Amino acid sequence: MRNQTLFAALAFFSATLPLHGLTANAMPKQPSDTATEMDEEDAGTETTEEERAESEKDSVLRVARQVHLGQIRFDENSFDFGRVKRGEKLGHRFTFKNIGKGPLKVHGVHASCGCTAAEVKTDKEYSPQESGAIDITFDTTDFTGSVVKTVTVMTNERHVPDRTLSIRATVVSEFEVTPPLADFGQTLTQNGGAQQVVIKPQAGYKVNIEKIRFNAEVLQVSSSTKDGNYVLNIELKKNIAPGFMKETIYVKNNSKSLPELRIPVRATIRGNIEIEPRYLEFGAISPTDKSSRSVTVTGLQDFEVKNVRMDLNLNGSKIKDTSTLLKVNPVSTDKLKKLIAIDLVNKTEKAGSVHGRLFIETTDPQQKEIPVDFYAFFR
- Indicate whether 41 pLDDT > 60: no
Total domains present in the chain: 4
For residue 249, what is the domain's CATH number? 2.60.40.10
Whole-angstrom distance, CA of residue 150 vs CA of residue 112: 6
**Whether residue 187 sits in one domain with residue 153:** no
Q: Which of 172, 202, 233 is the last residue of a domain?
A: 172
Q: Which helix (H) or strand (E) holds 38?
A: helix 36-42
265 shares a domain with 180 = yes
Determine the structural domain holding residue 370 and report its residue range.
273-378
Is 280 found in the same domain as 262?
no
Q: Give the model's pLDDT for residue 203.
A: 84
Asked whether residue 61 falls in the same domain as residue 76, the answer is: no
Is the per-residue pLDDT at 28 higher than 70?
no
**pLDDT score at 47:** 65
* Digit-coded pLDDT (tens) for 142-192: 899 999 999 999 998 888 888 999 999 999 999 899 999 999 999 988 889
Helix (H) / strand (E) containing 81: strand 78-85
Mark whether 128 and 80 lie in a shared domain: yes
| pLDDT value of position 37 | 45
Residue 313 CA to residue 355 CA, distance in Å, equals 5
Q: Has residue 63 got a pLDDT over 70? A: no
Q: How far is CA 215 from CA 108, 220, 252, in A?
A: 36, 8, 15
Average pLDDT over residues 43-53: 64
For residues 89 and 40, membership in a common domain is answered with no
**The pTM of the whole model exceeds 0.75:** no
Q: What is the pLDDT of residues 269-281, one digit of tens each?
A: 888 888 889 899 9
For the four alpha carbons of 238, 280, 368 and 213, in that order, the dihedral sign comes to positive
Q: Is the pLDDT of residue 6 over 60?
A: no
**What are φ and ψ of residue 246, in 5° steps?**
-130, 100
- The span from the first CA to the last CA of the chain, in angstroms, equals 35
320 shares a domain with 253: no
What would you report as the CA-atom Rg of the chain, rounded to the nearest whole angstrom? Answer: 32
Q: Give yes or no: residues 185 and 264 share one domain.
A: yes
Ramachandran area for residue 123 (φ above 0: left; ψ -120 to 50: alpha; else beta): left
pLDDT single digits (tens) 194-216: 999 999 998 888 888 999 999 99
| Distance between CA atoms of residues 122 and 107, nearest Å | 9
Residues 11 and 49 placed together within one structural domain of the fold: yes
Q: Which of 67, 91, 111 is the last residue of a domain?
A: 67
Taking residues 113-117, report their average pLDDT.
81
List Cα–Cα distances, 234 to 35, 215, 237, in angstroms.
106, 11, 10
d(CA 80, CA 293): 37
**Are 82 and 155 contained in the same domain?**
yes
- Residues 278 and 374 occupy one common structural domain: yes
For residue 125, give the nearest of 95, 104, 154 by alpha carbon.
104
161 and 198 in a single domain? The answer is no
**Which of 67, 82, 102 is the last residue before a domain boundary?**
67
- Pairing mode of beta strands 260-270, 182-188: parallel
Bridge partners of residue 94, in order along the sequence: 134
pLDDT for the residue 31: 46
pLDDT tens per residue across span 352-365: 889 999 999 988 88
Looking at residue 204, what DSSP letter applies? Answer: T
